[in-house]
Amino acid sequence: MSNFKNGLKFSRFIFKDSRLPCLTFFTSGKINCRYLLHQCRFYHCKHLLIVYKFEKKIMRKLVLKMSVSVDGFVGGSNGEIDWLLRTMDRSALGWIEETLWQAGVHIMGSKTFHDMAAWWPTSPDILAAPMNEIPKVVFSKKGFIQPANTASTTQAIKDSEKFDALKGIEKIKASENASTWANAAVENDLVKGIAKLKQQPGKFILAHGGANFAQALVKDGLVDEYRLVIHPVVLGKGLSLFASAPEQFDLKLESSTSFATGIIANVYTAVKK
């Protein structure tokens, strides 16, 4: 009994006298060991057997999924993404789609939110369904987000529109799940907001970016797993994913998948010190 501390939380605690099987006590929650000892003396349980199981609350992980160039950039100097559109193939898109469906919630910064809210509801892309259906949380220091409009979109949308025009891809009727964008939750404190999401039940949290948001997640050490879609392109300069890392840190490679165009999807877990 000396190894137990007052106030420990157990999911189950059973007191059982091995000589008297009928004398069994069940309890849960916080156990006061002084009370426990008193009960043992009261019932003269010299042969008391204690069976216990610790309750361990599993925090859901934060996964950062980003397309990156070979030299570690997630966008050109002005946020250009024409390079990733040009080198993407359908099998790599299938891998990304699987990742999207595995998520319980999508999180992003306000700039990326405006891009995605303007793009995905009317997109015929295979990624549109999970992007529209799964709930979203937007991180904005202002604590609110303006309604989506074309004036608030970035260079990424211009590149996507140009790419679709060249391919003859047309927009479709708005998704029946488009309301998830209008109903997105808003958080204004990154660290506290992520901590709250991790404590909630459900499938993992999937972060999308943009670059500034991803850099902030890296800086504060909030990412548990990196799913990096590495394109066979050298940008030379641009927006670096790890530019804000405060110090060196290690990653453990969990899996690596290569595709026809030379894209490699690597999954890493962050090695916590």
Q: Domain check: are 203 and 172 in the same one? A: yes
What is d(CA 107, CA 272) in angstroms, rounded to the nearest whole number? 22
Q: Is residue 3 part of a domain?
A: no
Residues 227 and 189 in one domain: yes
Give backbone dihedrals phi and psi of 245, rounded to 5 degrees, phi first.
-60, 125
Residue 1 lies in a domain: no
**In this structure, is residue 13 part of a structural domain?**
yes
Helices (H) and strands (E) in the chain, counts: 9, 13
The answer to whether residue 2 is domain-embedded is no
Instruction: Look at the block and give the residue holding tokens 């946020």.
Output: 79
Block means of pLDDT (10 residues each) for the chain, length 273 residues? 38 43 42 48 46 59 98 96 95 97 97 94 97 97 69 87 94 94 95 97 95 96 98 97 94 97 97 84
Domain, as residue range, for 226: 62-270
Check whether residue 100 and residue 204 sit in a common domain.
yes
Number of domains in the chain: 2
pLDDT at position 173 is 94
CA dist 151 and 187 (Å) reads: 23
